[in-house]
Amino acid sequence: MPGFMLRVIQLFIFIFILTSISYSQIDPGARGRYPQGWFSQTISREGRNMNCRIYYPSFSDGENSQIDTVNGPWPIVAFGHGFFMQTNYYFSLFRQLASHGFIVIAPQFTDTQHGELGKDLIFCLNFIKSSSTATGNRFYKLADTSKTGVSGHSMGGGASLLSTIYDSTITISAPFAAAETVPSIISTINSTKSIIYLISSQNDGITPPATTQIPMYENTPDNKALLTINGGNHTKFMDTNIWDWTDIGGYINRNLQIYLSQKYLTAVFKLFLHEDKGYWNYAFGDSANADTSVVLRKSVNRLPLKSFKMLTDEGSVTNQNINIRWEKSSTLNPLENIRYNVEFALDSLFESLFYVSPAVVDSSIIIDSIPPGDFYVRIVASTPGGIQKFSNNSIKLTLSPPLSVADGSPDLSSLRISGVFPNPFNPAFSITINNQNTTGILFELYDISGKKILSSEKVIYPGISKEYFDLSGNPSGIYFLSVRVEGRSFVKKVVLQK
């Protein structure tokens, strides 16, 4: 028994250690799992020579070390330094982001023309993108060119916001203590298409939240957040203290402010650039809301939906209990409630909708009954914030009434019905009836939209007879003839070809 209890205790200790390790690995404020490589390179845009420091995930720490070629490609982030600052004041941030799987490029700006600085950051992103297409380059096929982020501090933070005005393909901007710019970012941020995640400090005396970040946040149209670090100031985002005399406010120490700012920056970049939903909780969810070190304002109810497709095969089915299936879509908010509608249309462009189903949250629906005809079907997904996305495929269904007997020549005890002749026809067709007893038969004709254009109930006497249907006054197209007799029915597709 003592030996058994010892093994149980050892097992619990082992599980606890694994859990602790797992938790520390996902903490976005801690250093990530990748070693960091780096190098310096001068790049030029229209005569603006920028000495850039570039960090990336690697197989080992060190200058010019081999980039990690196994786990990429890696999203790209460009970072702009503050007014009169140096890129080397932010090395811990660059290492932090590289350790979590990002390529980071940080230019040393040549002047303080804010609009040009925003364009410099875009140029830096494009430099890494072009490197990823160049055979022999260390980043060849290792940069994720579809997802880019920008950040910066103070002046560089404002420039990062301006870059989203100039380049709508930037996924997210998440600056530290962003400064107002010339041209004014406060006035123009309402035209951004990017996600904006502002990180500010409560006691910032240089870019106070009340006059900078709060107006920026309020003017941002969609998908935005303002995270304020309690007790932080303007200069403690940097690794150095040489500029602390310019802003003596705040009551938390540098290590804590750096930890908090890098934690939330990493979380939001992991969420939107790596598309790792596990970081929603850190960036916007319960973890952020429960953190007394920060205050979070957010509005993220218009996130884009992921692509999805229909799973139902196209073809011919009965027009009752139609089973429509599809993949589920989602946003990066794992708690978002997505609803789906099925659309039936008369044309492949869905300009003429015939039927829209009630909204459901599942990935399938049974539709009781649609009139016979040819229909195009697709799914539309919707978020509570009003974002919609259509399935990336549609299908064509030919619907017909359920058959109690074989289509074509149902063999009742006293009646036989032959097929349509001619087919295609113009302007009339006939069916042949061989009847042994006096029988009541219902004939119904539908057009492709499901509209009933003819209904005739006749008594058919013993013998062979023909029934004629003249569609002289109808346009060319597909029609459906339904024949019902003695509680049974069959349907034939006929084509009027003028």
Query: For the segment 248-266, what is each residue's pLDDT rounded down to a tens digit?
Result: 999 999 999 999 999 999 9
Inform me whether the pLDDT recorded for 212 exceeds 80: yes
Mean pLDDT of 242-249: 95
Report pLDDT for 395.
97
Q: How confident is the model over 109-121, as pLDDT tens digits? A: 999 999 999 999 9
d(CA 204, CA 208): 5
**Structural tokens at position 370:** 């649609």
Report pLDDT for 321.
87
d(CA 26, CA 18): 13
d(CA 140, CA 442): 71
Radius of gyration of the chain (CA): 33
Among residues 341, 176, 192, which one has the least CA distance to residue 265? 176
Q: Count the neighbouring beta carbons within 10 Å of the beta carbon of residue 138.
A: 18
> CATH: 3.30.540.10, 3.20.20.70, 3.40.50.80, 3.40.50.1820. Which one for 31-299?
3.40.50.1820
Backbone angles phi, psi at 244, to 5 degrees: -65, -25
d(CA 56, CA 205): 34
Mean pLDDT of 472-476: 91
Please identify, in words, the CATH class of the domain defined by 415-496. mainly beta
Report pLDDT for 406.
37
Cα 43 versus chain centre, distance = 34
Inform me whether the pLDDT recorded for 409 exceeds 60: no
DSSP letter at 401 equals P
DSSP letter at 279 equals G
Report pLDDT for 279.
97
- Annotation: CATH topology of 315-400: Immunoglobulin-like (2.60.40)
Question: Coil, helix or strand for 375?
Answer: strand
Report pLDDT for 44.
96
Report pLDDT for 489.
65
Instruction: Decide the pairing of beta strands 172-173 and 195-201.
Output: parallel
d(CA 487, CA 303): 53
Cα 371 versus chain centre, distance = 35
Look at the block and give the residue holding tokens 């004014």: 184
Mean pLDDT of 423-438: 87
Q: Return the axis-axis angle of helices 155-166 and 114-131, rounded to nearest 10°.
A: 70
**Structural tokens at position 429:** 């067709």
Helix (H) or strand (E) run with residue 132 in it: none
Inform me whether the pLDDT recorded for 17 exceeds 50: no
Question: Coil, helix or strand for 370?
Answer: coil
Backbone angles phi, psi at 251, to 5 degrees: -130, 0
Report pLDDT for 372.
77
Report pLDDT for 407.
43
Per residue in 314-347, is it b (16+ CB within 10 Å) or e — as a string? eeebebeebebebbebbbbbeebebebbbbbbbe
Report pLDDT for 488.
67
